[in-house]
Amino acid sequence: MARSIPVKPDFEVGRGAERSVWETFTAKLPDDVVVCHSVQVRDGAQEREIDLLVLWPGVGIAAVEVKGGEVSVEAGQWWQKARGSSTRIHLKNPVAQSQSAMHAFKNMVQSRGIFLDCKIVYLVAFPFTQVSAEWEMTGVPRQIVLDADDLLSSRLEERIASVIRMESKDVGALRVPILERLTAYIAGDDDCAFAPVDSDGVRWAEEAQERLTAKQQLLLTATRSLRHVRFIGGAGSGKTWLAVEKARRLSREGKRVGLFCYNKGLAQHLERQVAEWRQRKPEFAGEFHGFALKQGVPAGAGQEYFDVEMPRQLNELGVWADPAEKFDAIVVDEAQDFAPSWWEALLSWVKEPAQAEVYAFMDGRQDVYRRWDGREVAAVGDQVVRFTPIHVDDNLRNTRRIAESFACFAGEGFTPRTDTGLPVRVVPCAVGDEMDAADDLVDQLLEEGWAEHQLALLTTKHRHPVHQEAFDAGDEAVAAYWKDFHDGAGVFYGHVLGFKGLERSVVILCVNGFREMERARELLYVGMSRARSLLVVVGVPEVLRKVGAEGLVKVLVE
């Protein structure tokens, strides 16, 4: 899978064609290719935009102009038809636009001292139009046009590479040093005074983690004929990414889909991911209890109500619900958080559960709430869902050093696949001083150059005062608190229990005790695995030893 700049482009309304071509390029082009979206070009007073810029080491560069709808040419005039009406493509035709933007890009980067002594071509892509293989017009050879069939072809990689090589025979291929300078310039990373700490390749390492995680979609393709699957994977294996991608695929097939989890922070993440889709969305995405409220179950109060009574009432409503309002498929992330009665309630809202599509993404070693009963079945009435277990062993979202520090909690099969990364830090302190020491570390890390939005301070027992203030202020304040986290508004202060399924570049894990020692290992496992690039653990050495955190004890000894 090719790398993308930005990693997750923002495809606004009206840019669905660009998204379609971007998804195709990133999925089908080699890993060392970089696909840049919406590259802004300024050549003197002229401003242009390249929809997609393909940087291919060992081959060359291609500037691609994308046009959606049905594209056609009549008497030399280019037309674009969308939603039943045709409009003229003003100014230059798409090919001339691409050619002009390509030349402007060359001028711009060369003015920055980046000499492009490599092959560079311009292409056009029409993802929703079919163009005859024999068609061409003056100055527009058929080979520089990628139509819907070309983009779907298994030979797309070969097609683009051959066009680049054929159209520019007098120069060489794109060299890696030039590629690196171009990507730094396009991403705004070169000589950037306000860049976060990156002395050990933090930024590139996290992008590599994103690319590795996206490759997990092969698991979804390989298991698409299985209707009941339990994906079992350790922390950092990309389960949440897979859950969202599975929901996206099911929705695209026209199914009524429910995407569920338990925690508020993760629920808001799922909601925001789904909101970005331009295609059909799930009928519901969010908290299990939020779904119950949406169906008319009273809010109630007390843990007993939420754990027992609310699921019971939701189940009763589901039994009598109109089949047209029920789901064709459900996807549950962090499924180990769901008790059997919760599964029963959910399945009552599924059409023919034994025949429907039901997918659970889980890690039994993160069973911090102790609700999961360990069984491989879920049932409602006489309908039983028997899950096929699929193991996802590779850790792709933590550096190797972080992954190895919590490997003692992760179980057999757990395999780190990323770069070495920064050393894990363990800051010993006395009992009662954990919070103060953690606060001091926030200031220290900011002084080191980390940005506020990269940091999360998580506690294992009592909430941090900032977290407690938001919690005490009520539901609206809690919603705003999580919105700030997802917006990257600043340093995040939270509790390990509420941070399951989430992550930040840097995590300060404040081990300020445990309400129940029998759950200590699970809490440490969850907290430590939330860090992508740097993990700092603050705690009393004797407590860490008692819990059996061998990886952390080893750091203390060294």
Are 80 and 69 in contact by the 8 Å Cβ rule? The answer is: yes
For residue 553, name the pLDDT band (cuts at 50, 70, 90).
low
What does the alpha-carbon distance between residue 251 and residue 248 come to, in Å, rounded to a whole number?
5
pLDDT at 439 over 60: yes
Averaged pLDDT for residues 128-137: 89
Element (H, E) at 303: helix 303-304
Residue-level pLDDT at 278: 83
Higher-confidence residue: 75 or 425?
Answer: 425
DSSP 147-204: -HHHHHSTTHHHHHHHHHHHH-TTSBPBPHHHHHHHHHHHHT-TT-TTPPP-TT-HHH
Of the candidates 114, 115, 120, the residue with the CA atom closest to the CA atom of residue 167 = 120
pLDDT at 18 over 90: yes
CA 547 from centre of chain: 32
Are 63 and 103 in contact by the 8 Å Cβ rule? The answer is: no
Could you give the 3-state DSSP secondary structure of residue 39? Answer: strand
Could you give the 3-state DSSP secondary structure of residue 498? Answer: helix
Q: Is the bond preceding 6 in cis, omega lying within 30 degrees of 0? A: yes
The phi-psi region of residue 65 (left if phi > 0; otherwise alpha if psi is between -120 and 50; otherwise beta) is: beta
pLDDT at 91 over 60: no
Are 512 and 400 in contact by the 8 Å Cβ rule? The answer is: no
Structure tokens that stand for 282 in this block: 């799930």
Residue-level pLDDT at 239: 93
Structure tokens that stand for 12 in this block: 């606004």
For residue range 217-233, what is the model confidence (pLDDT) as tens digits? 888 989 999 999 999 99
Structure tokens that stand for 236 in this block: 């950092």
Output the pTM of the full model: 0.64
- Burial of 316-344, coded b for 16+ CB within 10 Å and e otherwise, reads ebbeeeeeeebbbbbbbbbbbbbbebbbb
Are 333 and 270 in contact by the 8 Å Cβ rule? The answer is: yes
For residue range 486-528, what is the model confidence (pLDDT) as tens digits? 998 899 999 999 999 999 999 999 999 999 998 999 999 999 9
Q: What angle do CA 207, 209, 210 make, to 5 degrees?
A: 65
- With a pLDDT cut of 90, the percent of the chain lying above it is 58
For residue range 171-182, what is the model confidence (pLDDT) as tens digits? 788 888 889 889
Residue-level pLDDT at 194: 46
Averaged pLDDT for residues 199-209: 59
For residue 195, name the pLDDT band (cuts at 50, 70, 90).
very low
- Burial of 478-497, coded b for 16+ CB within 10 Å and e otherwise, reads beebbeebeeeeebbbbbbb
The phi-psi region of residue 504 (left if phi > 0; otherwise alpha if psi is between -120 and 50; otherwise beta) is: beta
For residue range 369-382, what is the model confidence (pLDDT) as tens digits? 888 877 788 888 88
- With a pLDDT cut of 70, the percent of the chain lying above it is 92
pLDDT at 87 over 90: no
Averaged pLDDT for residues 299-304: 90
Residue-level pLDDT at 191: 44
Averaged pLDDT for residues 158-183: 83
* DSSP code at position 450: -
Structure tokens that stand for 250 in this block: 């099911």
What does the alpha-carbon distance between residue 532 and residue 206 come to, in Å, rounded to a whole number?
7
The alpha carbon dihedral of 318, 254, 245, 279 has a sign of negative
What does the alpha-carbon distance between residue 394 and residue 405 come to, in Å, rounded to a whole number?
15
Higher-confidence residue: 189 or 395?
Answer: 395
For residue 84, name the pLDDT band (cuts at 50, 70, 90).
low
For residue 298, name the pLDDT band (cuts at 50, 70, 90).
very high
Averaged pLDDT for residues 305-332: 95
What does the alpha-carbon distance between residue 434 and residue 510 come to, in Å, rounded to a whole number?
6
* DSSP code at position 463: P
For residue range 450-473, what is the model confidence (pLDDT) as tens digits? 888 999 999 999 999 999 999 999
pLDDT at 333 over 70: yes
